[in-house]
Amino acid sequence: MTNPRILTRRAGAVVLSAGLVALAACGSGSSSTTTSSSSSKSITVAVAYPAPPKALLDQFTKQTGIKVNWVNIGWDDLQTKIAAAMSANTYFADAADVDWSKVGEYEKTGWFEPLNKWFNVASLKSDMPQVNTFVSDNKLMGMPFDSSFLVTTVNKKDFAKAGVTAMPTTLAAWTADLKKVGKANGMANPLDIQLATAEGLSTCWYQMTAAFGGQVLTSQDAPAFTSPSSPGYQAMNWIVNAYKSGLVPKGNINTTDYQGFTTEMAKNRVAAVMCDYSGSVGSIYNVPASSSVVNQTEYIPTPGAAGVGKNVANPDGIGIPKTAKNVAGAVKFIQWFTNTENQATWAGLQGPKNVVSTFPLPARLSSFNLLTTHGNPGEASQLESIIKTHAQPPFPNGAPPWYVQFSAAVQTNIHQAATGQETVAQAVQAIASQVNTLKTSG
């Protein structure tokens, strides 16, 4: 039997070791000041976007001495990560995604640093038409870094096979043509619309409401969709009917991942996508390795109630979390990432090798001019006319601070209406009731 004294000493050694581990852990935390010089040489950028080409990031590092650690996280997961980190007041990135829908929330919670110190909103307005989307209570919460908006995409070959060569401009003609296209191509469900309970479903409702000629909230953030004749009500009805009548694949109510959803189009299992993202043609449908519809798809003006409808703009922005460790580095990066030349580069100015995958259009008009001047507009040329003439913001008054709860009510209720658990009228009432509660409490 081992001597208890020896055992005690050994146990004491274990405790001491544990203490040292704890001290080491504390040391690593306290050494953040000593590592600040090294951390000032690197930044972490967390966005729901692919990284720019490595060669260009290396150029940035060469110019500034700042190494960029790019973290690409799915949109829904990124929002959770931001909320968890910021509510715990912990560091997670130096620059992060500021979605258009989060501007009011971030301003009210103070989770992101206003950028007015470094960027002048007044002087940006003429070059960045969407910069106002990122301003809340005069605070610039993020810098727009693209001009993303929702589009309608079709497979020209499938439509031609059905004898549809002139694209429909009204939703009635669109619905009739889709049925013909499905029949001609042996597709049971020719249209993709995201119907899973995720942000994409909420955004699609705003888009379809725009196609019907309206917006879901008034300028006072009140419900504008309760009347059956309102665009919001009709849009929801149209989405639910499209699903129930079989235009949309039944499985879409479970396809939560955007990539999985667009795979249907890339594999030619559907002939059209509504509420698609500007950029999908170049980044998904025209990629030979994963698509069987290369050069067959195109964006078309979105069919509306009585002619071509509007397209909801949902630009992406980038901002600086309150807990960022390297604010100066993040500012330099945002300036570089959103400058005129780089914005044009991400869209194809220097050819395909320097394009950022899924990048739709530059946030700056000057970048667009550069693209046109150099005769290399790429995919942007298809989107230019749509955004210049048809794009509109989802809400007249910007995203309200309670947007996240509103969106949760929207997606769950439309999903329930599509799956037959409630009627469209009940879904509309439930969402309106949630808006009124949020307005009162928020």
Amino acid identity of 368?
F
- Residues 376-415 touching other proteins, rule: CB under 8 A, are 401-402, 404-405, 408, 411-412, 415
Q: Angle, nearest 10°, between helix axes 365-373 and 380-390?
A: 140
Q: Where do we find the tokens 């999985």? A: 260
80 belongs to the binding site for other proteins (CB under 8 A): yes
Identify the residue among 269, 286, 425, 439 touching other proteins (CB under 8 A). 269
Of the listed pieces 8-16, 94-102, 308-316, 342-350, which binds other proteins according to CB under 8 A?
8-16
Determine the Cα–Cα distance for residues 64 and 397; give it in Å rounded to an integer. Answer: 38
Determine the Cα–Cα distance for residues 131 and 147; give it in Å rounded to an integer. Answer: 10
- Residues 296-335 touching other proteins, rule: CB under 8 A, are none
170 belongs to the binding site for other proteins (CB under 8 A): no
Query: How many residues lie near other proteins (CB under 8 A)?
Result: 44
Q: In 3D, which of 290, 356, 411 has the Cα closest to residue 72?
A: 356
Q: By C-beta, is 202 or 302 nearer to other proteins? A: 202
Q: In 3D, which of 338, 354, 353, 346 has the Cα closest to residue 380?
A: 346
CB 122 to other proteins: min, Å: 29
Q: Is 3 exposed, middle or buried (0-12, 13-18, 19+ CB in 10 A)?
A: exposed
246 belongs to the binding site for other proteins (CB under 8 A): no
CB 196 to other proteins: min, Å: 5
Amino acid identity of 84?
A
Of the listed pieces 91-99, 191-199, 226-234, 321-329, which binds other proteins according to CB under 8 A?
191-199
CB proximity list for 63: less than 8 A, separation 6 or greater: 336
Asked if 39 and 325 count as a contact pair (C-beta separation under 8 A), the reply is yes
435 belongs to the binding site for other proteins (CB under 8 A): no
Would you state the structure tokens that stand for residue 306, as one six-digit string? 């009585």
Identify the residue among 11, 160, 172, 306 touching other proteins (CB under 8 A). 11
Q: By C-beta, is 34 or 290 nearer to other proteins? A: 290
Q: In 3D, which of 52, 45, 153, 79 has the Cα closest to residue 358?
A: 52
Contact set with other proteins (CB under 8 A): 4-5, 7-8, 11-12, 14-15, 18, 79-80, 83-84, 86-87, 105, 108-109, 111, 196-198, 249-251, 253-254, 256, 264, 269, 401-402, 404-405, 408, 411-412, 415-416, 419-421, 441-442
